Amino acid sequence: MNTKILVVALFCSLLTFGQKNNTLNDLNSKKDFYSTIAQKIWGYAEMGYQEEKSAALLEQTLSNEGFRIKKGVAGMPTAFIAEYGTGKPIIAILGEFDALPGLSQEAIPEKKSAHKAAGHACGHHLFGTASVAASIEVKNWLKTNNIKGTIRFYGCPAEEGGSGKVYLVREGLFDDVDAVLHWHPNSVNEANAGASLANKSAKFRFYGVSAHAAISPEKGRSALDAVEAMDMMVNMMREHIPQEARIHYVITDGGKAPNVVPDFAEVYYYARHNNRNTVIEIFDRIVNAAKGAALGTGTTMDYEMIGGTHELLPNLTLQELMYKNLVKVGGITYTDEEKIFADKIAKTLGLKKANLETAKIVQPYKSKGKPFGSTDVGDISFTVPTAGMSSATWVPGTPAHSWQAVAAGGTNIGYKGMMVAAKTISLTAIDLFLDNSIIEKAKKEFYIKRGEDFKYIPLLGDRPPALDYRR
Ligand SMILES: [Zn+2]
């Protein structure tokens, strides 16, 4: 390299360094603004496909910043796409905003319901807000530096069991995207190559004949018997499926009164495994158990597919970049007041003290994750190279879907973690706009991993979005 080129290269990297510092400073100055938005969505606590106020607030925030908004995409009233800029590359950031039923909780370190139908026990109010913050920040950077390309925010409803993103993928709404970035609230900071379980879920409905349970039971055919027979068969089946598989169910309707033979009963099932083909096989066997149960109890059965997601396809090229930026951003520190809150939460989790060191650091990078739950990001990751990260929005040691997660998520602890995510995703998107070779490398990896003969088949089939699955 001659001296002239070296000087130009050095100047460019200094310039980029300065631009990125501006981005971080700008996000620091907007922490209160975004915290207020997250707090509002935390308060709305709207469940899957009912997130009208949450989606409207995020749409408005993006539209105020000059984003073009497409509302109600893929047949889901609370799904939307917000876009800024023109041409390639198209970098997408995902945001979620649905809450979980039965987990209403105040922002205090003791269990106390906020008397709402749901609570943000998975931190999706932070998820949606940080991703909006990052999209706006990247837009500002594109505008200031006159950079060509498109930043796109996907407002993704009903992640918790509704598989909202699957409908977006099925509709082809990701087909022109070059890279997808996302994150998730957590009790640690990490940007590991994620792994998740593919899943299929359905509600099985049995129809019998009602009769007086004492005077004329012989005239009745119990739909609840059918549910119990089905559950019995599926529970026996557990011994004969791959041991990493997961099956769970709840009886959502078991009749109304013991002295009436129930003529209707419903059971809601999930099947999961880290390979979608195994999930399909297990699910088909569950359907057979339902058919057998109906036959044996003299009832009839039908079922409705509710959800279905692919496992995650990690992209190490993007993941390593995300990790590098997370390290640059770093974790969070607690104030004295927050430490007291954290210790109180830790006690309710059976811990002596909260280990706040883990919120401060970034976990060492792992290129292979252990699959835990399921996410509808899986389907996106089989469509576009995708990378994710998570940050400490909950007191270390807090499991997701707990009242402790709702509590911390409604405080400054949650908002601090949220800003870590907003910063990391902003820097990663900027890197992708600056260096097209990263996207090329990520795509090469993506096509090899996905396999030549890959064809996208949604696990939930061709059903329309299950808009009433929480009603
Ligand atoms: Zn979640």
Q: What is the pLDDT of residues 89-98, one digit of tens each?
A: 999 999 999 9
Ligand 1 centre from 42 Cα, in Å? 14
Ligand 1 centre from 439 Cα, in Å? 27
Ligand 1 centre from 96 Cα, in Å? 8
Instruction: Mark 273-300 as b/e (b = at least 16 C-beta within 10 Å).
Output: bbbbebbbebbebbbebbeebbeebebe
Ligand 1 centre from 160 Cα, in Å? 7
Ligand 1 centre from 27 Cα, in Å? 23
pLDDT at 470: 87
Ligand 1 centre from 235 Cα, in Å? 27
In sequence order, what are the residues at sequence separation of 6 or more whose Cβ sits closer than 8 angstroms to the Cβ of residue 124?
41, 96, 97, 98, 99, 159, 160, 185
Ligand 1 centre from 438 Cα, in Å? 28
Ligand 1 centre from 184 Cα, in Å? 7
Is the model's pTM score more than 0.85?
yes
Low-confidence stretches of the chain (pLDDT < 50) are none
The residue among 105, 104, 59 whose CA lies nearest residue 83 is: 59
Ligand 1 centre from 43 Cα, in Å? 17
pLDDT at 12: 67
Ligand 1 centre from 391 Cα, in Å? 13
Ligand 1 centre from 158 Cα, in Å? 10
Distance CA 126, CA 97 (A): 8
Distance CA 255, CA 264 (A): 6
pLDDT at 8: 67
Ligand 1 centre from 36 Cα, in Å? 20
Spatial contact of 230 and 267, defined as CB atoms under 8 Å apart: yes
Ligand 1 centre from 306 Cα, in Å? 17
Ligand 1 centre from 159 Cα, in Å? 7
Reduced to 3 states (helix: H, G, I; strand: E, B; else coil), residue 100 is strand
Rounded to the nearest 5 percent, the helix, strand and coil shares of the chain are: 45, 20, 35
Ligand 1 centre from 224 Cα, in Å? 32
Ligand 1 centre from 220 Cα, in Å? 43
Q: How many residues does the chain have?
A: 471
Ligand 1 centre from 381 Cα, in Å? 16
Ligand 1 centre from 289 Cα, in Å? 31
Ligand 1 centre from 357 Cα, in Å? 24
Ligand 1 centre from 123 Cα, in Å? 7
Spatial contact of 385 and 442, defined as CB atoms under 8 Å apart: yes
pLDDT at 19: 81
Ligand 1 centre from 404 Cα, in Å? 15
Ligand 1 centre from 301 Cα, in Å? 32
Ligand 1 centre from 374 Cα, in Å? 9
